Amino acid sequence: MPQLTPFQPRLAALNQTGIWKHWAGHLVAPAYQHSVSTEYYAIRNSAALLDTSPLYKLRFAGPDAEGLLRHAMVRDVGQVADGRAQYTCWCDHRGYVLQDGVILRLSSDEFLLTAAEPTLKYFRDLATSLGMDRSVVTDVSADFGILALQGPLSRRILARLTGAAAGLRYFGVTRCSVAGHDVTLSRTGYTGDLGYELWVPRGGALQVLDALLDAGRGDNLTLMGTTALKMARVEAGLLLMDVDFHSARHAWVDEQRETPTELGWGWMLRTLDRSDRDFVGREAIARELASGSSRWTTTGLAVDVHDYERVHEEAGVLAPRHEVYEETTMSIYRRSETPWDHAGYATSFHYSSLLRRPLALAKIPLELAVKGTELDLELTVIRRPRNVLARVHGAAFFNPERKTANAEEVQST
C-alpha cells in the first residue's frame, strides 16, 4: 500500500480530480482541481500550497555533522551561517552527481537535508569511512511533514500565523511556532518565486495545514499539485531528478551520469580553488575543470514564438499553449549546412503561459551554451518531426525581485 503523508487525511477530501499518483511511494495529487492553470497562476499571482512530504528527510547532528557534510557536499556548508540554507549537490568519487538538495543549517551542529532518493546509508557509510559514528545522521522522514507555501502573497499569509515570516531573508532558516506547533521555517522553494517551506512535526500536521489554509482564505491561497509545481520549476530553471538528470548511483551507463558542470551548476564550483577542502569527487571535478572535458552543460532554451507559430501553421493546426508540459527527450541540432547536425537534447519542455513562450531545459556542448546561440529544437507536430528555432537563454527564465528581496524592500506589493 502507498504511504500517506501527514497531511493526507485533509488533502484527500480536497482533491476534486480523484486522481492520485505515487511520489517516492506516497500518494500525492498531480492536481487538486481540473484547471492546472488555476493552480499554476496562484503560484505567480497570489499563493499556493504544496505537500512536499514524500521527500526523504535527514538530520545531521552532533560535533561531526558539519565535518561530514563538508566532506560529502560539493558546496562548503562551513561557509553557511547558522540560520541559513544552502542549495547543493553531492557527487560520487568520479565527480558524477548523486543528488541535489537543500541543507538547512539550524545551528553550528544541527542540519536538515531533503533528498529525492533514499540516502541515509550512503551518508552513514561515508561517516564510517571518516571514522565518525554512524548516528551522526538519522532518517527523520516519518517525523515531519513539509509544506511549501509559494507565491507573492505567501509572506503576508504566513505573517498572520508567525512573526518569523516578515524578517526572514532569502535562504534564511528559523524555528517558530505555528498553530501551537514547533515549525522549522525556511525561505526556500522549488518555484523560483517568493516562498517558504515549513517542516511540521507529524502530530501537528493537520492543525498547521488548517491554520495556513485559513490564513490564506482571503488571498486566493490554492492547493497546488505536482503538475503546476513542475511548470513553475521549468520557468525557474530548476532541474528535476529522473527527468533532467539521473542519480549516478542508479544509472546504467556514463551517458546518463553528469557532473555539476554538465548540469549547469558550474557556479557551485566557482570558489573551488580558494580552499583545499577535500570532498567526494573533488579530484575528478578539478580534473574536469582543468582539462575542459565536460561533455555538455545544461541550460535553458527559449523557443522563437514566430517559428513555433510557423511550424504549427504549416501543419494546419493551432500552436498549443494551454498547459503544455512535457518530460520527453527532444533532439537539438546545430543550424548549419549539415542536415540533422545533432548537438544535444532537451529534457523538459513547457509553454510558459506567464512568459508567453515555449521553454526547454536542454543539454548542449559548452561552446554552444552562449546566450543568443540559435539552435533547432525538434518538435513532433501532427506525427512529423519539425525543427523550430530556439535560442540559448540560460536556465532561469523567471526570476522576480520578490524572490530574494527583503520585506522592507517590497512594502509596496
Partner 1 sequence: MSAAPGSEPPRYDAVVIGAGHNGLVHASYLARAGMKTLLLEQRHLVGGAAITEELLPGFQFTTFSYAISLLRPEIVDDLDLVEHGLMVLPLANTFQPGLDGEHLLLGPDADANYHEIARFSAEDAEAARDLDHLIARLCVALKPWMDRIPPNSRSDDPAELASLAELRAFMDGLDPEVRALGEQFATSSAADILDGTFEHDLVKALYASSGIIGSMVSPRDRESGLIWLFHKMGEYDGSPGSWGFHKGGNGGFTQVLARSCEAFGGEIRTEARVERVVHEGGVVRGVELAGGERIEAPVVVSALDPRQTFTRLVDAGDMPADLIEHLEDYKYQGSASKVNFALSALPTFPGLEDRADLFRGFTNLGPSMDYLHQAFTEAKDGRFSRRPFIDCCIQSTVDPEMSPPGKHVMSCFVMYTPYKLAEGTWDDQREALGDTVQETLEEFFPGFSELVLHREVVTPLDIERTVGLSEGNIFAGELFDSQLFLSRPAPGWNQYRTPISGYYQCGSGTHPGGCVSGGPGMLAARQVLGDVQKGA
Catalog residues that contact partner 1 under the rule CB under 8 A: 1-3, 22, 24-25, 118-122, 124, 139, 141, 249-250, 252
User: d(Cα 379, Cα 345) in Å, to the nearest integer?
Assistant: 11
CB nearer partner 1, residue 82 or residue 125: 125
d(CA 221, CA 48): 5
Smallest separation, CB 120 to partner 1 (Å)? 5
In whole angstroms, the minimum distance from the beta carbon of 26 to partner 1 comes to 8
Alpha carbons 58 and 118: distance in angstroms, whole number: 9
What CA–CA distance (Å, rounded) separates 86 from 80? 7
- Rounded to 10 deg, the angle between the 120-129 and 65-72 helix axes is 100
Q: How far is the CB of 189 from partner 1 (least distance, A)?
A: 24
Q: From the CB of 134, what's the least distance to partner 1, in Å?
A: 9
Torsion sign, CA atoms 144, 145, 147, 148:
positive
Based on CB atoms, which residue is closest to partner 1, 101 or 266? 101
CB of 139 to partner 1, least distance (A): 5
Q: How far is the CB of 261 from partner 1 (least distance, A)?
A: 22
Residue with Cβ nearer partner 1 (213 or 251) = 251
* Helix segments in 147-195, DSSP class H: 154-159, 164-167
C-alpha distances (whole Å) from 234 to each of 24, 99, 111, 144, 243 are 21, 18, 28, 27, 11
Identity of the residue, 54 or 216, whose beta carbon is nearer to partner 1 in the bound complex: 54
Nearer to partner 1, 251 or 286 (CB): 251
User: Could you give the angle at the alpha carbon of 327 between the alpha carbons of 324 and 331, nearest 5°?
Assistant: 100
Which residues are paired to 145 by β-bridges?
200
CB of 11 within 8 A of CB of 23?
no
Between residues 3 and 353, which has the closer beta carbon with respect to partner 1? 3
